[in-house]
Amino acid sequence: MTITISPVEADDIKALIRLNEAAFSWTYSLLFDGPLKESTIDAIAEKRIKALHEQDEKSGSQGQEHPANKSFDFKAVDDSTGEIVGEAHWMIYYEDEELTKSIEDEVEDRINPPIPQMQVQPTAEFGRILATTKRETLAVPSETGETTADPGAPIKLRKRVYLGVLVVHPNHQKRGIGRQLLQWGLDEADRLGLVTYLEASTDGVRLYESAGFEKLKDVFMNLRPFGAKGDLPIRLMIRQPKPTN
């Protein structure tokens, strides 16, 4: 099977939403009320396409050479069928990221405007965990050498390459597609001399370890308040850049 990696286009978004639901079915069952309906897919697609266009406009207004940050979204396509079988979403922070929103503001952005079928409370808690942990692990030390996760304190996060999503359809896993999608971001991180940061699911840890990522810490989302059992484990991982010739 030959795989081609190329940038995501607006026409790909609905297929990518279905792909993510298939690959992260357990997590989607927590964050959404049942299998995604067409109206829900339409709403998610509208939000993603808007973000895609906003990023294009932002890049154009800032110029390509010196943006503060820029997102990159790639798809993996099976050349024999034309099927999209994987996706990677990257954000590169070329400068230290100055946070202008509190943790709760970021949570509000995640749940508003509301999407059909979204289970608001678990979605909010999931976003709260991600917003809190990135402050704890990526904060640039102050002149005193201290960092803070105080949501009211001014804070900067270190410049980095961030992998927001890496997904491969369940029918196509363990064929090297994830590593192909991963490689672009690792090459960019090495070229720029930046660390790479991600939040890994249990299934993804082995791939990331093989690519040079190390564990920062494990965090757990308590699922009991939302009618489920146990915890959702999330591993925070980081990779140091490798020297390039």
Has residue 117 got a pLDDT over 70? yes
Amino acid 79: pLDDT: 96
| H or E element at residue 21 | helix 13-23
Average pLDDT over every residue of 27-45: 97
Structure tokens at 160: 């980095």
DSSP 106-134: HHHHHH-S--TTB-HHHHHHHHHHHHHHH
Q: What is the mean pLDDT of the chain?
A: 92
Phi, psi of 212 (to 5 degrees): 100, 5
Q: Which domains does the chain have, with CATH numbers?
A: 3-239 (3.40.630.30)
CA distance 40 to 51: 17
**pLDDT at residue number 52:** 85
> What is the pTM for the complete model shown?
0.91
Q: Which residues pair with 234 in a beta bridge?
A: 219
How does pLDDT run across 165-194, given as a tens digit for each residue? 999 999 999 999 999 999 999 999 999 999
Reduced to 3 states (helix: H, G, I; strand: E, B; else coil), residue 98 is: strand
